[in-house]
């Protein structure tokens, strides 16, 4: 059974969805570690309630970003983490970190990449008047919201949709799609060919 670590800075709704998928037996991995950089994050309480080991590492405690990331890497190695799952971790990883876990870091984005990159993707799609948005799970590379796409699912905005309603639709899809992607990767069914992701056994 593979060890995974979830990185989160906020509410931890995707963290909870992943933990619940494991508990229900839908996802056969070991959630070895939560990595958090925000002492006020609600995800820390969720980890405690779910019995998941949590590691709080604050950027402010390190002179250089590399030192901060090296501390995280040390904890990942100590816990034999094989896959890093970004779930609302509000920091860009450096090329140094990405290289250390090349093709073993994934992220979830609340839009259909390459459209609406960045931290305000749901609002940006809503304000733009897009008819369709969605969710993307992708590998992390050195650029923001740029790595090869693993899974995507569309979400229709609807002409009368509110921003809150769209957020709820997006989060519902996220909580389904992320465990699916983790399952495919940890089963060895995801192959990379340049920017193309091939999923085997379908």
Active-site residue numbers? 109
Q: What does the pLDDT look like over 149-180, one tens digit per residue?
A: 999 999 999 876 799 999 999 999 999 999 99
Q: What does the pLDDT look like over 74-133, one tens digit per residue?
A: 999 999 999 999 999 989 999 999 999 999 999 999 999 999 999 899 999 999 999 999
**pLDDT for res 159:** 72
Contact 174, 14 (CB under 8 A): yes
Three-state secondary structure of the chain: CCEEEEECCCCCHHHHHHHHHHHCCCCCCEEEEEEECCCCCHHHHHHHHHCCCEEECCHHHCCCHHHHHHHHHHHHHHCCCCEEEECCCCCCCCHHHHHHCCCCEEEEECCCCCCCCCCCHHHHHHHHCCCEEEEEEEECCCCCCCCCEEEEEEEECCCCCCHHHHHHHHHHHHHHHHHHHHHHHHCCCEEEECCEEEECCC
pLDDT band at 1 (very low <50, low <70, confident <90, very high): confident
| Sign of CA pseudo-dihedral 158, 120, 15, 162 | negative
Contact 5, 35 (CB under 8 A): yes
**pLDDT for res 160:** 62
Q: Model-level pTM greater than 0.85?
A: yes
Domains of the chain: 1-102 (3.40.50.170), 108-202 (3.40.50.170)
**pLDDT for res 132:** 95
pLDDT(40) > 80: yes
Q: What does the pLDDT look like over 54-83, one tens digit per residue?
A: 999 999 989 999 999 999 999 999 999 999
């Amino acid at each position: 059974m593979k060890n995974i670590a979830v990185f989160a800075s906020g509410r931890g709704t995707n963290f909870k969805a992943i933990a619940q998928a494991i508990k229900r037996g839908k996802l056969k991995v070991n959630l070895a570690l939560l990595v958090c950089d925000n002492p006020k994050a609600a995800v820390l309480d969720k980890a405690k309630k779910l019995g998941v080991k949590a590691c709080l590492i604050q950027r402010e405690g390190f002179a250089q970003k590399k030192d901060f990331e090296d501390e995280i890497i040390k904890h990942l190695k100590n816990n034999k983490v094989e896959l890093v799952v970004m779930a609302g971790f509000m920091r860009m990883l450096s090329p140094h970190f990405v290289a250390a876990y090349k093709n073993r870091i994934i992220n979830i984005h609340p839009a259909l990449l390459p459209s609406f990159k960045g931290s305000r993707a749901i609002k940006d799609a809503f304000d733009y008047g897009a008819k369709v948005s969605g969710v993307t799970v992708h590998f992390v590379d050195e650029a923001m919201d740029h790595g090869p796409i693993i899974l995507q699912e569309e979400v229709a905005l609807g002409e009368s949709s509110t921003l809150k309603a769209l957020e709820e639709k997006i989060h519902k899809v996220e909580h389904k799609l992320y465990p699916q992607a983790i399952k495919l990767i940890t089963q060895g069914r995801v192959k990379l060919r340049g920017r193309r992701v091939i999923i085997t056994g379908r």
